[in-house]
Chains A and B, each alone.
Chain A
Amino acid sequence: MQLVISTVCLALTSAVIGNAYLQKQQFYPAVVYITKSNASMAVIYIQFFVIVFMFGKLLRKIFLGTLRAAEFEHLLERFWYALTETCLAFTVFRDDFNPRFVALFTVLLFLKSFHWLAEERVDFMERSPVLGWLFHIRVGSLLTMLGILDYVLLMHAYNSTLVRGPTVQLVFGFEYAILLTVIASTTIKYVLHAAEMRTDTPWENKAVFLLYTELVIGLIKVVLYLLFVVIMAKIYALPMFVFRPMFFTIRNFRKALNDVIMSRRAIRNMNTLYPDATPEELRQSDNICIICREDMVNHSKKLPCGHIFHTTCLRSWFQRQQTCPTCRLNILRTPAINSMAMPRADDAANPAAAGGAGAVPAGAAVPGAAGVAPGAAAPGAAAGEAVATAAGAAGAAAAPGLDAHTNGAVARNAGAPNFADIFGDASGLSNLAGLPPPPPLLSPFMMQSPFGYFTPPVVPPPPMPLDLTRFNEEELLAMEGNLRQHIEERLKMLRNISLMVDSANLLMQQYQLLVARLPPPATTTATTTTLPAAVAAAAVPVNSSPNPVYDEPSTSRAAAAKVEQTTHHQLSAAAVAAAPSSVVSDQVTIEDLGAEDDDDVDVDVDVMPSTADNCVNVDNEESTELSELRKRRLKFLEERNNSPTTTTTTTTITTTTSSDKTD
């Protein structure tokens, strides 16, 4: 087809020229003859376009090789749009309409097509499995050539506008300026892609660079278009022919801006809200990022729901959607405090409730226990008052069925203190206090507790469970429920925690008031009859997800040591946080907290009441720990005194006086 057209055209041209030459016999008259005849000129013009077209093909062969089908399609589509716009531009400049003008527009369209093709090629780089050196040479030379041409033509247009005032060169100058920005962005993209190809590892920040390139180039383009429209509207008429590209440019710019904002938000979220996945967690999961299907060696993040992904994969996904790719948990609406996603409460509830009397694993370090503990805790907290009475019974019982960690467990007879009273106290206090709920914890694992009243535990948290192989599939699955009931349970749990924290806060305030009023030489009493404190602030985050994370014990231990020195022989009080009763936590972190003797004040296990500067790492499993500790404390007191009245005393405030009383 093309060949036929070219041949016909060539034949026509030769006929026209031959005819002219035959008639005039000399060069100059022949030229005059042709230019005078409209038909001849039409043929010459057509020949000119054919030559341009063929030249374009030649250049394409040199610089681009064969076009892919998609490239050709896009080229054609854009070409027709550009052609229409050129025709529109002709209407504005109909006074200067002459062959030179048409030629200039032809050159512009010609160059534009190559810009589009270069853009497509560079975009294709990312999708192409193999690229030879030929590709790089071609793209490199094409970009250089186009850049130089754009610059030269821009300068020409600029100079001619300066010399001759605003003419049609204004349009060309503007068009070449736009093309220069296109070349700039294409070159930057090319450099970025090429740089990534040279390395064997994925270049994580490339997406960010690309995004910002897009933004800056988009901004320049928008400014250029606006300037052009204003200038054109002042000198000529409203330039209709740039409205379509301007619209698309503005839309792209808006999108880029939006992307940048979303990306920044995603990055910020990721840096602040979600912890890096630890090597242990990576080992325990299958270690494949489900987004890119590649190994996660480093730079991976763990979402509140426990799913782990590459940081970069997650970032690009969060630019579009703020949900977990796996479970679609909306991560923006989920405060990070939920990050300890509760397991299926009902699963663990049965064994916990069933255990009327059983074994409390006394060892703080019970590997494997951690993953299950919240399971046992959840129903207790969730059920709230309803469980309160049962809590005592169940409280001392380790959940049977979690036999994996009953080794080292000490069987105890469970006394059943009346937890309902305690709970009532607590809620009353919290109502009185009306304290605002604590702010949501930002980082679930690393953040210091916002309520620094609790002394840190001295016993380091239990080590990581080394493997989760003892759980079967269902148990593991059960730990991450996201059905309605689970979410409801979690919400209830959170409410209870907030209640508990409020009451604990109040208690500590009262305690501090009392301490302030007390005479300084408390040591005298302390040396003799100080009751060991049973302050409960366990810093053992228990994670329901298969990969529990633990706090760094070092800081809390150091803090505790300091406290121990200073308040060594001073009065110690048991400020037991009155908490909503939780059922059993089969995992005890502070060993023998309640069971120590009066003489054992120096033992490193004792926990001193602290002032506000002692920070404790508390997370939302605190209730489990607190109730556990309190329960043990109560039990201890009971065993010692066999007087149930002390329990209530302890729960409110235990100062030196009250501890004396208990003795």
Chain B
Amino acid sequence: MAGSALRRLMAEYKQLTMDPPEGIAAGPISEDNFFEWEALIAGPEGTCFEGGVFPARLVFPPDYPLSPPKMKFICDMFHPNIFADGRVCISILHAPGDDPMGYELSAERWSPVQSVEKILLSVVSMLAEPNDESGANVDAAIMWRERREEFNRIAQKLVRKTLGLPT
């Protein structure tokens, strides 16, 4: 019998494969290592990220699900809640106790009840509705608030980039 973290990840992988939510695909990069996943997230429809497919990497701690995984987009992203290096900043990925931005309710934080699927769904909704209160990327937050057209233009550019289309 393998460790509980591994078993849980296997169960989640199985569930995600059997019953994948729309616009999301995720799985371990290699079956030898279930603690590093790659996820593909489709930009939600009706938003400036529509049409894009954004690859991201999830790294799980050995004590998953007691601690949250880390998520990082491995493509260029321009979004108020995504750091310039691709790290995603949403409350569900923060363990209760650490509060990098100082505004999150503990009720929104990580708990073992959360799952990869829920994380990815939260990220999709984050793409659709950026939270400009938390400035992981302050430039993007300001642009989102004040110059929406410009933001949309950059987002569309990113979308084309992820699809390999000329921008």
Contact = CB atoms under 8 A, between A and B. Distances in A.
A320 B1 CA distance: 24
Contact of B1 (A199, A291, A328): A199
B6 A321 contact: no
B112 interface: yes
Contacts of A193: 3
Contacts of B112: 290-291, 313, 317, 325
Nearest to A291: B112
Interface stretch (A121-129, A142-150, A166-174, A267-275): A121-129
A129 B10 contact: yes
Contact of A291 (B6, B62, B96, B113): B113
A326 interface: yes
Interface stretch (B27-35, B45-53, B138-146): B27-35
Interface string A278-294: 00000000000011111
A320 B7 contact: no
B2 A294 contact: no
Contacts of A197: 1-2
B66 A317 contact: yes
Residue in A127, A199, A316, A325 whose Cβ sees the most chain B Cβ within 10 Å: A127
Contacts of A321: 96-97
A68 B66 CA distance: 24
Residue in A129, A196, A202, A320 whose Cβ sees the most chain B Cβ within 10 Å: A129
A581 to B, nearest CB: 35
A294 B7 contact: yes
A292 B4 contact: yes
Contact of B106 (A123, A291, A325, A328): A328
Contacts of B111: 323, 325-326, 328
B3 A127 contact: yes
A201 interface: yes
Contacts of A291: 8, 65, 112-113
A320 B6 CA distance: 20
Interface string B6-27: 1110111001000000000000
Contacts of B128: none
B2 A328 contact: no
Interface residues of B, number: 29
A126 B96 CA distance: 25
A481 B112 CA distance: 21
A313 B3 CA distance: 12
A127 B35 CA distance: 8
A143 B5 CA distance: 25
A200 interface: yes
A202 B4 contact: yes
Contacts of B12: 293
A55 interface: no
A323 B65 CA distance: 15
A326 B113 contact: yes
Residue in B2, B7, B112, B113 whose Cβ sees the most chain A Cβ within 10 Å: B112
Contacts of B5: 126-127
Contacts of B31: 129
B107 interface: yes
A127 B34 contact: yes
Contacts of B11: 292-294
A203 interface: yes
A200 B63 CA distance: 20
B66 A316 contact: yes
Nearest to B35: A127
Contacts of B97: 321
A291 B66 CA distance: 8
Interface string B60-98: 001101100000000000000000000000000001110
B8 A328 contact: no
A202 B95 CA distance: 25
B6 A127 contact: yes
A199 B65 CA distance: 22
Nearest to A201: B1
B113 A196 contact: no
B27 to A, nearest CB: 14
Contacts of A294: 7-8, 11
Interface in A75-126: 123, 125-126
Contacts of A293: 7-8, 11-12, 15
7 closest pairs, A vs B, by CB? A126-B3, A293-B11, A291-B112, A325-B111, A325-B112, A325-B113, A290-B113
10 contacts: A125-B3, A126-B2, A127-B34, A127-B35, A128-B2, A128-B32, A129-B31, A292-B4, A293-B7, A326-B113
Given A202-B1, A293-B11, A323-B96, 11 more contacts: A127-B2, A127-B3, A127-B6, A129-B31, A196-B1, A197-B1, A202-B7, A291-B112, A317-B66, A321-B97, A326-B113
